[in-house]
Structure 1
Amino acid sequence: MSDHSEAPVAPVEAHEPPYYMAVFTAVRTQDQSGYSETDARLEDLVKDVPGYLGTDYAQSPGGLAITVAYFRDAEALAQWRCNAEHRSAQKRGQAEWYQSYTLHVAKVERSHGFTRAHVPPSPTAG
């Protein structure tokens, strides 16, 4: 997906299993005309899917982009998969934006998270 540079740097929170995740890994082509606009539109659309839990994004220095979308159940994932605008973007991606990609769908059976507590600096630290 896009650079997501404005997104907060935090993973999607752990949810109570079971739930589903779709892992999309891609290498993009040089011509990305229209990609950012389509990506932004899809980000807005997926938020309207009942059961959508969030999305994590990462990109390697070598250009591998990874998008992991989480859904409460298989029905929510199927609703997203069948969304007409999403399907249209998939076709355009194959035709223009992606050199290669893979999609993995998995049922999450275990999930937990950690967030370091913020510790204010000591007033005597100098």
Structure 2
Amino acid sequence: MYYAVIFTSIRTETEEGYAEMAEKMEQLAKQQPGFIGVESARNEIGITVSYWESLEAIKNWKMNLDHLEAQQKGRSTWYKNYKVRIAKVEREYEF
């Protein structure tokens, strides 16, 4: 069992600094205790799903100072809106 943080968003027209910040946040997340992995895609709606070992690891990531800065910049510049969902993954399988 582990957890998924599902971040869906609709972007503004502003591109300046977004790709660099997204890359920085992915690299930083990978260094956090409890991080398992991340997947993302974007068309009209963006979706990023990060996977974590525990709710505590998710909370610690949410409170990371660099991540807090990125969240603020996202609200003020890059996103029209976004939604975060946290789900418990009880089973997985793949082909």
1:103 to 67, 84, 95: 84
The code of the aligned residue for 1:92 comes to K
Kindly state the Cα deviation for residue 19 of structure 1 after the two structures are TM-superposed.
0.5
- The structure with the larger Rg is 1
Cα deviation 1:87-109 (Å, max 9, x = unaligned): 11001100000011111011111
| Misfit runs of 4+, over 6 Å | none
Match of 2:3 in 1: 20
Q: CA RMSD in A?
A: 0.9
Identify unmatched segments of 5+ residues in structure 2.
none
- In 2: Cα distance, 1:54 partner to 1:42 partner: 13
- In 2: Cα distance, 1:51 partner to 1:91 partner: 24
Q: Which has the higher helix share?
A: 2
Work out the number of aligned pairs and report it: 95
- In 2: Cα distance, 1:99 partner to 1:92 partner: 12
Query: Which of the pair has the greater relative contact order for Cα pairs under 8 Å at 6+ separation?
Result: 2
TM-score (norm 1): 0.72
Identify unmatched segments of 5+ residues in structure 1.
1-17, 115-126
The code of the aligned residue for 1:102 comes to K
Kindly state the Cα deviation for residue 58 of structure 1 after the two structures are TM-superposed.
1.6
- In 2: Cα distance, 1:34 partner to 1:58 partner: 18
Q: Which has the higher strand share?
A: 2
TM-score (norm 2): 0.94
